[in-house]
Amino acid sequence: MQTSDPRIEVLPQNVVEKIAAGEVVERPASVLKEIVENSIDAGATSIEIVVEDSGFALVQVTDNGCGLSCENLERSVLRHATSKIRSADDLFAITTMGFRGEALASISAVSKTTISSSNAESGLGYSLACEGGIASPITPVSHVRGTTVSCRDLFYNVPARKKFMKTRKAERLALVKVLEQVVIPFPGIRFTATIDGKNVFEVPAADSLLARISQVAGVEFAKSLVKAQGSTKGMDAVLFFPLSGNDLARPRYQNLYVNLRKVDNDSVLYGVRQAFTQLMQRDARPSFFCFIDVDPAAIDVNVHPTKQKVKFENERDLFGFIYGTVARVLKPAPDSGFAPAAQRRPANGGGPGERASYQQQTEAARQEQAPSSTGEQGDTSYGQTILAFPRRDSQAEKLLEPAGEERIQLTDSTEASAWNLISCYQIHEMLILAPIKNGILLIDQHAAHERILYEQALEDLKDKRSTSQQLLFPIVLRLSATEKAVFESSGEYFMAFGFDIQDFGGSDVSISATPSFMINGDVEHSVRDMIGYLLDEKSVEHFPEPHKRYAAAFACGAAIKAGQKLSEEEMNALLNSLFSSKNPYTCPHGRPTVVRISLDELSRRFLR
C-alpha cells in the first residue's frame, strides 16, 4: 500500500512512442490496414502486398500512387505529421482514409521500417530507414513512381507485446479479413497479396461495387443480393443483401462503410436486422454490405483509436433511415406476389416445394453414394444415422432425471429404446412433441441434434478420425479468401470429422468424402456454416479451447435445422440419441434442448 505521494516523472520519448503505437498497432493486420489505407489515399490504382511469417517478419506494401518527395518522406515518420488536416476544425471534415499522421510513426516505433518512394517519372526516388522510431539519413534509390513500405521484425523491441499475440494461423486469418474489408469499396483498384509464399488474394479492377463484392464473396453469393438505395438530408445509402437462404441465419458479411471507411455502428446493424425481423422472419441476422455517403461534419470518427467505430450526429434518425431503406425492398406492392413472412421458408432450412423432403434426399443420396471408407455401403438414412451414434450403458429413467426436478418417466419401459414406442409429433418443423408418463416434452430439433453431434465430434477428435463416405462426384465449393484461410488452418479438424477436402486451386476446394451420416444436398451449407461459425468472433468467447470450438462448429453446421421435416422414425431416433448423450438438456452453447410440461401444469392451464 502506497503511503506517500509518488514523484511524477516525464516519460522518455521512446516510451511515449511505444505507448502511442500500442493504440494503433495492435497486431500485424493493423499494420497492413494502415499502410494500405495510405496507398489508397495516395491515389494508387494498383497495390501489391507481401507478408512473411504472418506479418511478424515482413509486411510490405507497394503502390503506384503519387509518391513522396524527399522532404515529405523525411516528415512521414514524425508523429502527428500529416497532409490531411491543417487545423482542429479539419478533424470534423475528414474525407480520407487516414488523417492523424500516426500510422507510419507508430509502425516504425515498434519495427524496422523502410520507406522507398518517388513522386517523379524519372525512376529516381529516396529511401528512409527507421528502426525503433530512430530514423537514418535519407538515401537516393531507384524507384518507379509510387511508394514501397516494408515493415520488418514487428514488435522486436516490445517482446512482451509479441508474447500476447495469437497463433500464426489466427494472425494470418486476421490479415486476410482486413484485406477483404478494405478492398470492397474501391473497385477501381487492383489488389494482390502473397502471404507466407502463397498467393491468397488477387482482385483485378472492377467496374462496380457489386462486381467487387462478387470478386471477394463469390459469384453465387453476389447473385443472391438485392440492392436498396435511400437518401435523406445530407446522407445517401446503398445496401446489398440477400432475401433468403442461409445467410439470413449465420451472416457471412455485415460490412458497413461510411465515406468508404470500414467501420462499426450499432444503429445501422439494428436497423437492417429489425427490418428483416419484422418483415421477413424472427431472429434474422442477415448478411449485408452497406455504403453510406454522409457529410463529414455530421459524424465523429475520433471515438476509437483505430477508427473502427463512428458516431453519427443523430443515431435515432440513422436507425430509421436504414430501417426504411431496407423495408422498402422487403415489402413491395401488395400485388407483387411476394409471400408474407409466415409463408416463407426459414433462413436455415427448406420448405415444401423448395427443397426435397428428408426422405427424398435420403433415398437419392443412398442410390448415389459409393461404399464408405469403412468398406460398408454408405447408408445416409437419417434415422439410422442417429441410431448409429455410440450408445452408453445407462437407462432412460436415469438419463431423464434432471437435478432438482421431478423425475421424467417414459410411458412403460425404462429402456432408452422405449422412445421407439412413443408417438412423436413435429410442430412447425422446428419442435418435437413427445408424450411421457407424467406430462409432455418439447424438444428443439436443432439444439438437440447439436448436442448429439457435439459429443460425437469430441469423440472423433479424440480418435483422430470419423467414419466417412466417398462421394460419387466431388463437390466443388468456391470460397472467399477469408473462408479459404479458415479452411486451410482447419484441415486436421475437418479430416477428424470425416471430411476429405482438398485445395482445388484459386478460391476453390473440392469435397470428395463426408461424414457417413451427411446427406449430399446438405454438404455445401454445412461446410459453409462451419466456416461461418469459426469466423464469428463470439465462438472464441464461448469456446476458448480449439477442439471444443471446432466440435461446436461442426455440430452447428451439420445439425438439422428449423424448417426441416422429420418422419416419426427420425424423431424417435433423435430422442434416443439425445437421451443417450452425456448432457441431454442443453446444446453446446447452453440453450435448453428440452422443455418438460407436467400433467399438473397442463391441468392448471385448463383450469381443471
Instruction: Give pLDDT tens digits for 299-322.
Output: 877 655 556 778 888 899 999 999
How much is the pLDDT for 80?
60
Cβ count near 8 (within 10 Å): 5
Name the nearest CA neighbour of 321 among 414, 253, 238, 442.
238
Name the nearest CA neighbour of 570 among 375, 361, 339, 411.
361
In a domain, 350, yes or no: no
Q: How far is CA 412 from CA 85, 196, 416, 421, 474, in A?
A: 80, 63, 11, 9, 47
Q: Are residues 47 and 145 in the same domain?
A: yes
How much is the pLDDT for 519?
57
In a domain, 394, yes or no: yes
How much is the pLDDT for 238?
97
Quick one: three-class SS letters along 245-287? CHHHCCCCCEEEEECCEEEECHHHHHHHHHHHHHHCCCCCCCC
Helix (H) or strand (E) holding 486: helix 481-488
For 390, residues 6+ apart whose C-beta sits below 8 A from its C-beta are 456, 459
Name the nearest CA neighbour of 53 among 158, 196, 173.
196
CA atoms within 13 A on the CB side of 270: 9
Cβ count near 326 (within 10 Å): 27
In a domain, 281, yes or no: yes
Quick one: three-class SS letters along 442-485? EEEHHHHHHHHHHHHHHHHHHHCCCCEEEEEEEEEEECCHHHHH
Q: Evaluate whether 460 touches 424 at the Cβ level (below 8 Å).
A: no
CATH number, domain containing residue 427:
3.30.1370.100
Q: Are residues 22 and 141 in the same domain?
A: yes
In a domain, 183, yes or no: yes
For 184, the grid coordinates are 470492397
Name the nearest CA neighbour of 112 among 69, 157, 79, 146.
157
- Bridge-based pairing of strands 288-294 and 235-242 is antiparallel
For 417, the grid coordinates are 429404446
Strand, helix or coil for residue 508 = strand
Express the helix, strand and coil content of the chain in percent, nearest 5 each.
Answer: 40, 20, 40
Cβ count near 310 (within 10 Å): 21
Q: Are residues 480 and 589 in the same domain?
A: yes
Handedness of CA 103, 147, 64, 203 (dihedral sign): negative
Name the nearest CA neighbour of 162 among 153, 175, 151.
153
How much is the pLDDT for 379?
35
Distance (Å, rounded) from C-alpha 503 to C-alpha 509? 5
Name the nearest CA neighbour of 49 among 263, 218, 199, 246.
199
Cα-based torsion angle of the residue sequence 113, 114, 117, 122 in order, rounded to the nearest 10 degrees? -170
Q: Are residues 383 and 490 in the same domain?
A: yes
Q: How far is CA 436 from CA 234, 397, 606, in A?
A: 62, 11, 19
Name the nearest CA neighbour of 213 among 284, 291, 272, 98.
291
Q: What DSSP letter does each residue of 199-240 carry, written as one string?
A: EEEEE---SSHHHHHHHHH-HHHHHTEEEEEEEETTEEEEEE
Q: How far is CA 267 from CA 311, 321, 323, 465, 509, in A?
A: 10, 10, 9, 45, 37
Instruction: Give pLDDT tens digits for 160-205.
Output: 777 778 788 889 999 999 999 999 999 999 999 999 999 988 999 9
In a domain, 329, yes or no: yes
Name the nearest CA neighbour of 391 among 448, 469, 459, 450.
459
Q: Are residues 490 and 543 in the same domain?
A: yes
Distance (Å, rounded) from C-alpha 62 to C-alpha 390? 56
Q: Evaluate whether 43 touches 66 at the Cβ level (below 8 Å).
A: yes
CATH number, domain containing residue 124:
3.30.565.10
| pLDDT < 70 stretches in the chain | 1-24, 79-102, 245-247, 249, 281-282, 302-307, 332-421, 519-521
Q: Are residues 188 and 242 in the same domain?
A: no
Q: Are residues 196 and 266 in the same domain?
A: no
Rg of the chain over Cα atoms, rounded to whole angstroms, equals 28
Question: In the 8-state DSSP scheme, what is residue 309?
Answer: B
In a domain, 65, yes or no: yes
Distance (Å, rounded) from C-alpha 104 to C-alpha 108? 6
Helix (H) or strand (E) holding 604: helix 599-605
Domain extent, residue 324, equals 209-336
Q: Which residues pair with 427 in a beta bridge?
A: 431
Strand, helix or coil for residue 598 = strand
> Which of 203, 235, 253 is at the close of a domain?
203
Q: Evaluate whether 594 touches 586 at the Cβ level (below 8 Å).
A: no
Counting the structural domains of the chain, the total is 3
Strand, helix or coil for residue 152 = strand
CATH number, domain containing residue 301:
3.30.230.10
In a domain, 67, yes or no: yes
> Which of 203, 232, 264 is at the close of a domain?
203
> Which of 173, 203, 233 is at the close of a domain?
203
Q: Are residues 316 and 419 in the same domain?
A: no
Distance (Å, rounded) from C-alpha 17 to C-alpha 28? 18
Q: Are residues 471 and 545 in the same domain?
A: yes
In a domain, 593, yes or no: yes
Q: Are residues 199 and 223 in the same domain?
A: no
Cβ count near 212 (within 10 Å): 24
Angle between helices 523-535 and 546-558 (to 10 degrees): 140
Q: Evaluate whether 65 touches 43 at the Cβ level (below 8 Å).
A: yes
- Bridge-based pairing of strands 190-195 and 46-52 is parallel
Handedness of CA 453, 458, 459, 465 (dihedral sign): positive
Cβ count near 30 (within 10 Å): 22
Q: Are residues 185 and 225 in the same domain?
A: no
For 126, residues 6+ apart whose C-beta sits below 8 A from its C-beta are 68, 70, 73, 116, 117, 118, 138, 139, 140, 141, 143
Q: Are residues 393 and 494 in the same domain?
A: yes
Distance (Å, rounded) from C-alpha 490 to C-alpha 15? 39
